[in-house]
Amino acid sequence: MFNGIIKNTGIVKTIKKNQKSLVLSVKSNLKVNKKALGSSISCNGVCLTLTSYKENLLNFYLSQETIKRSNFSKVKIGKIINLEKSLKFGDEISGHYTQGHVDTVGEIINIKIIDKTWLVEIKVPTKFNKFIVEKASIHINGVSLTISKKKKKSFEINIIPHTLKLTNLKNLKKKELVNVELDIFSKYLYEINN
């Protein structure tokens, strides 16, 4: 479990592509030790297992399913990604509960800057629109955010300067793909009632 409060980023240094998987090496100042091997780390909102590390280089294995569901299908060397360690008992929950189980990718439709806040419009595949609720939480590239407005085929989020400073969201551009994890409770409630 994660809470979408990002304090660390990393830069993709190497990508090893296999037939239906890939291995990412990410350079970061995120503090890990031998006990962290095999643990979950949210990478751009995707729960990945730390398979090995050396100094500041963290290595992750991505399966075909992960690649298919996330923007890692388009990952390139030099890309900055958001990183978050999994929660420990007693940690403060400042964002919202997330699993790192990305549902889909969303496309950036528009970015409007109002004062120092970014108003970002995102479009997801139509089948996910039923889970989009104004003022509900949403996980974008691993960042806990609030849906400020629901439109017919898209939704808007507001990103404040502090969040922009600490995350890779400051690098967003129109037509870029972002990882989207919908609110876990909305998904469970929908399944129970259908």
Ordered by start, the domain boundaries in the chain are 8-85, 104-192
- Domains 8-85 and 104-192 belong to one CATH topology: yes
Categorize the per-residue pLDDT at 10 as very low, low, confident or very high, splitting at 50, 70 and 90. very high
Tell me: pLDDT of 188 over 90. no
Supply the DSSP string of 67-114, one letter for each residue: HHHSGGGG--TT-EEEEEEPP-TT----S--B-S---EEEEEEEEEEE
Q: What is the CATH number of domain 8-85?
A: 2.40.30.20
Average confidence (pLDDT) over 3-15:
93
Least confident range from 54-63, 153-162, 179-188: namely 179-188
Confidence at residue 148, expressed as pLDDT on a 0 to 100 scale:
97
Tens of pLDDT, residues 12-67: 999 999 889 999 999 999 988 888 888 899 999 999 999 999 989 999 999 999 99
Q: Is the dihedral of CA 26, 27, 28, 34 positive or negative?
A: positive
Phi then psi dihedrals of residue 141, to 5 deg: 50, 35
- Calpha distance 111→113 (Å, rounded): 7
Question: What's the CATH code, domain 104-192?
Answer: 2.40.30.20
Q: Among the residues of the chain, which ranges form H helices?
A: 64-69, 161-166, 184-192
Q: What is the pLDDT of residue 191?
A: 82
C-alpha–C-alpha distance, residues 61 and 182, integer Å: 23
**pTM summary value:** 0.92
Q: Using one digit for the tens of pLDDT, what is the confidence trace for 95-113?
A: 777 888 999 999 999 999 9
